[in-house]
Structure 1
Amino acid sequence: MELKQNYPNPFNPATTIPFTLSGDLFANGHRPKVSLKIYNVLAQLVAVPILQGSGEPLTDLELTCGTPSPGACPFTAYWNGKVLDTDTDAASGVYIYQLVVDGRRFTKKMIIMK
């Protein structure tokens, strides 16, 4: 599994977050449970990006691997830069994004610069 750096970074107003899940996660029909959340530096939840292609928020989604690259299944999340459940732009600053796959956590930083 790999959580990649968002791009662009720094960004304003929106960003893309790529991640790859290893093909063995999908063995025997298993559908890994995946969440991706964005937090501010105070560890407060700011947003839940959507999974590109489905438009669904990445909260406990059970993903399937459509067309795997050799040994891996690529996915892309999108965040419009808005605070969760509002039309308010997130403030400039450092944010943490965390991918959780079947309970395993992967974390990176991103920057909004206005």
Structure 2
Amino acid sequence: MPQNVTLYQNYPNPFNPATTIRYDLSTAASVELTVFDLLGRQVRTLVHEQQPAGSYRVTFDASGLPGGVYIYRLKTDRATFQKKMILLR
């Protein structure tokens, strides 16, 4: 069965200090949701677990991080998706 994953743009964007990241899984999957800076350094792991099919919301609290553009990446068993978000300071 094909695995359909939808990763949505975070909201609000730009944000300070927190934003919500939403995604949908059509089937159960091993999920890793991570945040990187523009130099490719991982700054936070938000999710790293097996999840059943469903809709998910994860809050990213960027307190303590410098303002700028960040990449959030959703990786499953079969696919990887990423989007940009802007932290204002």
TM-score by length of 2: 0.89
Which of 22, 38, 61 is 2:35 aligned to? 38
User: Does structure 1 residue 81 correspond to structure 2 residue 62?
Assistant: yes
Which consecutive residues of structure 1, in runs of 5 or more, have no partner in the other structure?
26-30, 50-57, 66-72, 83-88
Flag as ranges the 4+ runs of structure 1 deviating above 4 A: none
- Higher Rg of the two aligned structures: 1
For 1:110, the equivalent position in structure 2 comes to 85
* Residue identity (%): 38
Larger strand fraction of residues: 2
Larger helix fraction of residues: 1
Which of 65, 68, 71 is 1:90 aligned to? 65
Q: 1:90 offset after TM fit, Å?
A: 0.8
User: How many angstroms apart in 2 are the aligned matches of 1:39 and 1:75?
Assistant: 20
RMSD: 1.1
Letter of the 1:34 partner, please give it. Answer: V
2:25 and 2:52 in contact (8 A); partners too: no
TM-score by length of 1: 0.70
Aligned pairs, number: 85
Which consecutive residues of structure 2, in runs of 5 or more, have no partner in the other structure?
none
Q: 1:103 offset after TM fit, Å?
A: 3.9
